[in-house]
Structure formats: structure tokens, C-alpha cells
Structure 1
Amino acid sequence: MGKPLRVGIVGCGAIIAQYLTNFRKLRDIELVAVADLDPARAQAVADDYEGVRATSVDELLAADDVELVLNLTIPAAHAAVALKAIAAGKSVYGEKPLAATTAEARQVLDAAHEAGVVVGCAPDTVLGTGIQTARKAIDDGLIGAPISASATMVTPGHERWHPNPDFYYQPGGGPLLDMGPYYVTALVTLLGPVVSVMGAASHTRNVRTIGSGPRQGETVPVDIDSHVTGVLVHTSGALSTLFMSFDAVKSKSPNIEIHGSTGSLVVPDPNHFDGEVQLFSLGADGWETLPVSAGYVDSGRGFGIADLASTAQGEEPRAGGALAYHALEVMESVLESAHSGRAVPIQSTVERPKSVELTVLADDINMLEAQEAAS
């Protein structure tokens, strides 16, 4: 009805800074309250953001002026916080993954359906100009019929930079569940839903040493697979290969490549919202960089919530719970296959999210200039 969506945030850890930067310029979002198990962290956010109050979690969930709860807690707490918010009549948008397991995620979606509220979930990076320009290239037939894709994420481990990396190495963490949502969500956005998977995984170290912050030098136990590979079979017949590692050092390969019958695409890092899309057409002499042609211009974390706010009632948001559930089932099934040695069918499916036309959402003159330059 023309009013901004009033948002309360639960969890004031490192990721909140990116959301706050974008909330300040998204006219469809009004941040009203923040909460954290550490009250000082919530108060620090409130002190720096005009019009925002720090509360307890229970007070935020009960607040009449909070319409949507942005859940920025650790993965193990995603479902519990989401269910409490839904029980209080709030819509929910969560950081990825939707929950630690598909069983928990199903509880969240069923509760939301029963309550008549909306569930959204990161990553919303797929709404930016990088993935959306690649999506448009595929939809426009620039590579012909899609045949295959590869997705590569390599890092020696988040403990090298994160001061409290414990949750990355606990159930619900690991390279696949931590970083895989960006890649799987991008692959589904580009190529459609997945019908079956096969996987393999390894565990190379039992402990990790924290490399920065007040706990530098402490070790944390590793209770997850730290290197995972998988093959995804899409409904279309296209095959995607995943390579997700917290063990290897570096990769020179593109983050995502898509191959079709008449061309190949280099797709930018799905952990970012922009980046160059490159095309090599059959018979060409080299790669060409495609002009930006789709997606939210100069976007960032939180744009999925603005997209949700503009979604018609009864319609699934682009960064919605159904897509997040499907991506989680794909990842969970890759790990199941890795341990069983058998292919695993995917029970859920999802509509390929609607594409995003080249759009400016935020009040920023630089964004307007960028859109004009791209058109």
C-alpha cells in the first residue's frame, strides 16, 4: 500500500553491517528494532541507526510495529527463531541456510503457511546484475540448449579471518552448507530445479586454529565434511558439478561456468551481486563481455527483502522459502549421497524464479547513472 515494510533484526553479528548499509537507502524498508543475545551488540547498532531501538528477542517478536523479522542468528538457531517469529504473526527473512536440516526447514514453511505469513531467505545475490545478466543470456538463447555447469568455491578455511569460526565446523556449517547456498541457488536460477544428486566428501583435519581476534591461537573442533563434490541433475537434463572446499588453497577456475550447444558463459561469483558475464560463442575468436542487461542495479544484502516487500500477495518471492528449501535439500542430499555412495532423488521442486528486469531500487544517484550507462 505504498508504506515501507517494518523490519526487526534478531542477531547483530558481523553480517549485519552489510544489511544496515543497504537498509539506509532502500525506501521500501524501515528498520525499527534490533535484538541480540548480547544486549551491548544490539545497543551499538541502535546507537548508530536513527530511529532504531534495541530490545530483547522476546520484546522484538512481540512488537506491534515489526512486520518482518530478519533472522541473522547462527545456522543452528535459524529454525527456532523463525518458528517463534511466525508464531508471533511475523513474516521471516533468514540468512542462509533456511535451517540446519530439511526437517526443520519443513516445519518453518508449514508453520508459515498455516499462519498466512511469508518466508524469504538469502542468498539474494542472485537478484543482482551478475547472475541476472547471465540468466537473460541463457533465456535469450545465446548459448543454445544448456548442457552442463561447474561451480567452484575454494578457501583454506574461514578460521583464518573470522574471530569466532566455531559454527562453520559444526553441523549446519561446512563448505557446502555455508557457501553452497550461493552456488546452488544460482544454478537453480540459471538452469532450473534439480531432480537427483550424487556426492563425495572428505574430512582432512580434526581441529582448526583461529587466526585473528581475541581468541587467536585457540583451536576449534571440526565435526563436518570440509571438502565436498557433487553432481546435480537438473529437470532440463543439464548436469552441474559442485566443488566446495574449506581445505584447498586457491582456484584459478571461474566461480561458475555454463556450457550450451552453441556457446559457453563465465558467470561471476554468486557471493557477489555484480561482476562481468563473458560469452564464447561457437565459431568465435574469443570471449566477449556482455553488457549489463538485467537485475537490481548496484544491489547488496537486503535487496531480497525489498523484492519480497513488492511481491504480490499470494505470490512466492524470488528469494523465497520454497527456493531456499529446495537448495537445502539438494545440499543435504549431496552429503547423504557422499556417505551412502548412492544417487539420491530430490523430493522437492520449485518454480524457476522470475527474472529481474534491469531495475534501480535504492535512492542513490550513482545507481541511476549506472543504469543509464548500461542501457
Structure 2
Amino acid sequence: MNLAIVGCGFVADYYLSTLSSHPELRVLGVTDRISERANLLSGIYGVTAYPALDDVLADKRVELVLNLTNPRSHYEVSRAALLAGKHVYSEKPLAMNMDQACELVQLAESARLHIASAPCSLLGETAQTVWKALRENAIGPVRVVYAEMDDGMVHRMKYHKWKSISGMEWPYKDEFEVGCTLEHAGYYLTWLAAWFGPADSVTSFASIQVPDKLPEETLDVASPDFTVACIAFRSGVVARLTCSILAPHDHSLRIVGDEGVLYTSDSWDYRSPVYSRRMVSIRRKSFLNPIRHSYRLPRTPYGRPRTKGAQKMDFARGPAELAAAVREQRSCRLSPRFSLHINELTLAIHYAREQGSTYRMTTTFDPIEPMPWSR
């Protein structure tokens, strides 16, 4: 499938550096509002630099648009691409409000186009291995899940020096304004929704603990830097998700069942080991076995992600899954309705301060199939 990238900022390298693992995806070109950035990536990766978005949309060879723009531009760019008859894979979130997100999904469905939203880590080896263990009833009926998405005190780190492999600076002002929940909650929300089905409600708490993250600059928008969400899934499972850019780095996951605990340490590593510890009974006492069981991660057709830095993820698996769905004439695992449900959950958590703590979900999605190589 022929694709073009719109948005050549920090995250673009994560996609361009992993697309080589997916030869079925052909990058025709890139574009950005700042032409120098598009020209730089064009030279590094040997692709065309389109002068503007309109030139991308006018190119009939382009079948898929990767929307890697600023989150506040996602709706505008995705809408234009859909109206031009292109499939869309968007960085998270799908849109900054639900009216816009619903419009995008309705546009895609009415035009029989695909629209999907990052993250795609659900398609990684770790998520698929945990899912297989759950299907095999490794820890019995699941009761509760603890998911952590803490990244440390980012405002005290040397974020001014963070650059991608092509030299693009980390957009710290935008990241602080958009907020860690909109940026990061999806990494676990996608896993949980795929495994346990649609959420029925979410009860959240959101707070801005450090309002002056940029002493020398003024943030145009104040977003929560700490959120806690308790999600009730229709299947009966309850999950607690914490997001912050304050607490020490912790991306761990624990799934508690009647017969034990299933866990992994890092949702940003596609090959993070998966373990379980089962309940044992000796005489009158029951406790978790101190000896853990390790699950073998499956081999995939893609090889190891070729990214550098903290994120050991193959960002191109999302676009590859969308392209496969088009080719095979089936639903995408990151379907429009699934992406919309994740968007609604994320917004409900992010805006807990404004709209109240308990939110009843209005969207749903059809069950998702695991990857063939994980079965």
C-alpha cells in the first residue's frame, strides 16, 4: 500500500525507521507545515517532500495517510484525508473531543474507508502473549487489573535536549499542554479493551500538581499531570490505570485472577517478558508461589523493532495492520469503532476535573481477533 506521512516532527522517525520491516508499505513522501522538516526527512529517508497537505491529497497514488501532526491538528488533517478518499492512520488521540472523533468515524464508514488510531502496541509480542495466557485461563477468572503509566518528573529532566534520530526536538510545550493522559493512557487502554471487551463506565480523578512546568514560558493550556481511573468493563473485570509525569518511571501491569497473578514490566517494550505466579495451598495457608512461570514470546514475521531510545516498539505495525485489513477485505484490529471507544475512555479520564468523576460510556466495538502468529 502506498502511503504518505503528514507531520515530520519528533515521532516521525519512529515510523520511518520501522517501516523497513514492512515491505508491503511504500512511503511515497512526507509533508509538514515547516518545509525544512519535510526536506530533512526527505533527504534522510529518500522520499519525496510534498510542498503541502493538498499535494498529498491530490496524489492519486497515495492510498493511506499517516497523520503524525500535533494532536490538535489530528481532526482537521484526518477529515481532509477521508474526504479525499484516503485511508487514515492517526497518532493518538483520534480527536480532541468526541463530536469530532464521531464525525471522523462516520465519514470513514460512509465512504467505506478505514481509520485507525495509535497506539498499536496491542499488536506486539508482549500484549499478544498476555492475551494468549488469559485465553488459556492461566490465572483463572480475572478480577482486577493494576496498570501503571508513570514517566517520572519530566519537567525536571533535560527535555530540551531530547531529539529524534534525525534531530527533531521533543515538542515539550505541546506535550505538557496536551497532557500525559491523552498521550499515554492508550497504551494500556487498548490492551484492556481488547482482552476484556468494551468498558461500561470509568470513575476518574485528575489533578494538576505542577502548574508551572515551564518557568521561562507560559503554557497556553493547563492539563492534568496525574490521573487515576477505575474502569468497569462489561465482562465484569475492573481495572485501575494511573498516568503521571510525576511518579518514578513505572510501566508495569498486574492482572489478578482467582488462581494467581499475570504480570509484565514495560508496555513500551514489545518483548517485555511475561510471567505468572499461581496460588498454592499448603495445609491451611494459601499464597502466591514464589517461583514464577515464564511465557515464551512468539516469533513474529517482523523481527525486532529498530527504534532507539526508551520505546522499543514497532510503530509501523499499526499502518501494516490497516493495510492488511484493506488487502484481505476484513475489519482492522484497530477498527474505527475500537479507536473511537479508546478515544472516549481517554477523554473521560483526561477531563475528569471538568465533567465529574464517573462517566458512562456511549460507544462500543465488535470483538477483536488476536494475531495469527500468537494463537
* CA deviation profile, 1:17-49 (whole Å, cap 9, x unmatched): 111111123111000011000111111111122
In the superposition, the TM-score normalised over structure 2's length comes to 0.86
Aligned partners of 2:331, 2:106: CA distance in 1, in Å? 14
Q: What's the offset of the Cα at 1:297? A: 4.8
The question of 1:293 aligning with 2:288 is answered: no
1:283-322 mapped onto 2 (5 Å cutoff): 283=280, 284-293=289-298, 297-299=303-305, 300-311=314-325, 315-322=330-337
Aligned partners of 2:200, 2:6: CA distance in 1, in Å? 34
Partner residue in 2 for 1:189: 194
Aligned partners of 2:5, 2:372: CA distance in 1, in Å? 29
Selected match of 2:278 from 272, 278, 281: 281
* CA deviation profile, 1:296-343 (whole Å, cap 9, x unmatched): 653500111111111156532112322221111112223454445452
Aligned partners of 1:311, 1:185: CA distance in 2, in Å? 18
Aligned partners of 2:252, 2:220: CA distance in 1, in Å? 29
Partner residue in 2 for 1:229: 228
Classify 1:294/1:233 alpha carbon distance in 2 versus 1 (closer, same or farther; 3 Å).
farther
Number of residue pairs matched?
A: 346
Partner residue in 2 for 1:180: 185
Aligned partners of 1:244, 1:342: CA distance in 2, in Å? 16
Q: Is the 8 A contact 1:297 1:358 kept in 2?
A: no
In the superposition, the TM-score normalised over structure 1's length comes to 0.86
Selected match of 1:250 from 243, 248, 251: 248
Q: What's the offset of the Cα at 1:168? A: 2.1
Aligned partners of 2:270, 2:75: CA distance in 1, in Å? 26
RMSD: 2.2
Q: What's the offset of the Cα at 1:349? A: 1.0
Aligned partners of 2:349, 2:15: CA distance in 1, in Å? 30
Q: Is the 8 A contact 2:153 2:248 kept in 1?
A: no
Query: What secondary structure is seen at the aligned counterpart in 1 of 2:235?
Result: coil
Name the amino acid aligned to 1:274.
R
Name the amino acid aligned to 1:305.
P
Classify 1:31/1:335 alpha carbon distance in 2 versus 1 (closer, same or farther; 3 Å).
closer
Q: Is the 8 A contact 1:134 1:190 kept in 2?
A: no
The question of 1:31 aligning with 2:27 is answered: yes
Name the amino acid aligned to 2:173.
D
User: Which consecutive residues of structure 1, in runs of 5 or more, have no partner in the other structure?
Assistant: 211-216, 360-374
Aligned partners of 1:354, 1:322: CA distance in 2, in Å? 14
The question of 1:78 aligning with 2:92 is answered: no
* CA deviation profile, 1:113-132 (whole Å, cap 9, x unmatched): 12221101111111010110
* CA deviation profile, 1:81-129 (whole Å, cap 9, x unmatched): 0000011110100011111111111111111112221101111111010
Aligned partners of 1:154, 1:121: CA distance in 2, in Å? 22
Q: Is the 8 A contact 1:206 1:221 kept in 2?
A: no
Q: Is the 8 A contact 1:130 1:268 kept in 2?
A: no
Aligned partners of 1:334, 1:21: CA distance in 2, in Å? 32
The question of 1:209 aligning with 2:214 is answered: yes
Query: What secondary structure is seen at the aligned counterpart in 1 of 2:373?
Result: coil
User: Which consecutive residues of structure 2, in runs of 5 or more, have no partner in the other structure?
Assistant: 163-169, 281-288, 306-313
Query: What secondary structure is seen at the aligned counterpart in 2 of 1:327?
Result: helix
Classify 1:15/1:165 alpha carbon distance in 2 versus 1 (closer, same or farther; 3 Å).
same
Aligned partners of 2:320, 2:337: CA distance in 1, in Å? 18
Name the amino acid aligned to 1:265.
L
Partner residue in 2 for 1:66: 62
Aligned partners of 1:69, 1:91: CA distance in 2, in Å? 6
1:1-375 mapped onto 2 (5 Å cutoff): 5-159=1-155, 160=157, 161=159, 163-170=170-177, 173-209=178-214, 218=217, 220=219, 223-246=222-245, 248-251=246-249, 255-283=252-280, 284-293=289-298, 297-299=303-305, 300-311=314-325, 315-358=330-373
Partner residue in 2 for 1:214: none
